[in-house]
Amino acid sequence: MTDTAVPVVARALVNGVLTLTLNRPDKLNAANDALLLELTKALRDAERDADARVIVITGAGRGFCAGQDLGDVSGRSMGFAEHLEHTYNPLIRKIRGIEKPVITAVNGVAAGAGASLALSGDIRLWSSAATFIEVFSNIALVPDSGSTYFLPRLVGYHRAFELMSLAERVNAEDGLRLGLCEHVFPAETFAADVQAYAERLATRPVRALGLTKRALNKALSGTLDDALTYEAHLQQAAGTHAEHQEGLQAFREKRAPDFRNLK
């Protein structure tokens, strides 16, 4: 980042929702090292911040993330694998590993590694102006940053291979139909709709949701027996937490539970 007064990732915490905005709008938020490292750091900070109950990742301007800024890597001696392990891979691992809900709010184009980032959230909300494209094959590269993991699990092997091979652009309507996102909101009200959705999620029991996320991540790569055993382990942890006691008390008192400020 050349201008320290303008962060490459802007942070805003409102009503339990931490919004991390990729802030290179003139580049459609194409990722350079500074952006990727700062976004990973912001997630690490959020992990320790009890006030950040839900995390939203979105983009400034017309784009969500146009993928790698090729100008940023041109001429460098670092190899492809080393670059990924230094930048993208720690970011994707942190998104999947942080035990808080992460929403990827795709406000515009999500291309290449930006498409991978769009898929990595626990919940994917798209603007009606969003587009998605696995652009790697256009420059004879392999999809990375988790795309080969996420996409076939959502659309199946054959459709994933076609999208990656032909670099087909997917609009918001088709993205919803294919299961690339959970909801599409109008572009004109997208930010407000995302905030309202995230605030609703922030009222839920964040500790229990974190354990649920952990269970789902493990179940994706294990057997049914593995899942049953791990569910029992996590249920023991959830059942001894203050959130569970609040949920039971609220049920008995026939009121809405208040899961905030519970440790």
Cβ pair 18, 49 in contact under 8 A? yes
Q: By mean pLDDT, which of 106-120, 208-222, 229-243 is the weakest?
A: 229-243
Q: Are residues 211 and 155 in the same domain?
A: no
In terms of C-beta distances under 8 Å and separation of at least 24 residues, what long-range contacts does 172-180 make, across chains too? 172/126, 172/127, 172/128, 172/129, 172/130, 172/131, 175/126, 175/130, 175/132, 176/126, 178/154, 179/154, 179/155, 180/118, 180/119, 180/124, 180/126, 180/132, 180/154, 180/155
Residue 260 lies in a domain: no
Residue 171 has pLDDT above 50, yes or no: yes
Residue 48 sits in the same domain as residue 19 = yes
Q: At residue 111, does pLDDT exceed 60?
A: yes
Q: For residue 219, what are the domain limits?
A: 206-253
Residue 252 CB-density burial (10 A; 0-12 exposed, 13-18 middle, 19+ buried) = exposed
CA pair distance 130, 109, nearest whole angstrom: 5
Q: For 37-93, what is each residue's pLDDT tens digit?
A: 999 999 999 999 999 999 999 999 999 999 999 888 777 777 889 999 999 999 999
| Confidence band, pLDDT 50/70/90 cuts, at residue 1 | very low
For residue 13, being part of any structural domain is answered with yes
Specify whether 127 is located in the same domain as 248: no
Do 249 and 211 share a structural domain? yes
Are residues 184 and 91 part of one domain?
A: yes
Whether residue 87 is found in the same domain as residue 25: yes
* CATH code, domain carrying 218: 1.10.12.10
- Of 130, 132, 91, 129, nearest to 111 by C-alpha is 132
User: Are 158 and 217 contained in the same domain?
Assistant: no
Strands (E), 47-156: 54-59, 63-65, 102-106, 109-111, 123-127, 131-133
Same domain assignment for residues 45 and 166:
yes
The reply to whether 262 falls in a domain is no
pLDDT at 114 over 80: yes
pLDDT value of position 240: 83
- What is the pLDDT, as a whole number, of residue 40? 98
Q: What is the mean pLDDT of residues 22-46?
A: 97
Please tell me the total count of domains within the chain: 2
Q: Domain check: are 196 and 221 in the same one?
A: no
SS3 category, 49: coil
What are 123's two structure tokens?
A: 């919940």
83-87, 104-108, 124-128, 185-189, range with the lowest pLDDT: 83-87
Same structural domain, 103 and 47: yes
Are 30 and 107 in the same domain?
A: yes
Which of 83-87, 135-139, 253-257 has the least mean pLDDT? 253-257
Percent of the chain with pLDDT over 90: 77
Residue 238: inside a domain, yes or no?
Answer: yes
**Which of 80-84, 187-191, 256-260 is predicted most confidently?**
187-191
CA–CA separation, 97 and 167 (whole Å): 29
Whichever domain contains 109, its CATH number is 3.90.226.10
- pLDDT, average across residues 232-257: 84
pLDDT in tens, 202-211: 999 999 999 9
pTM: 0.91
Q: What is the pLDDT of residue 2?
A: 45
Instruction: Kindly state whether residues 191 and 232 are assigned to the same domain.
Output: no
Residue 153: pLDDT above 80? Answer: yes
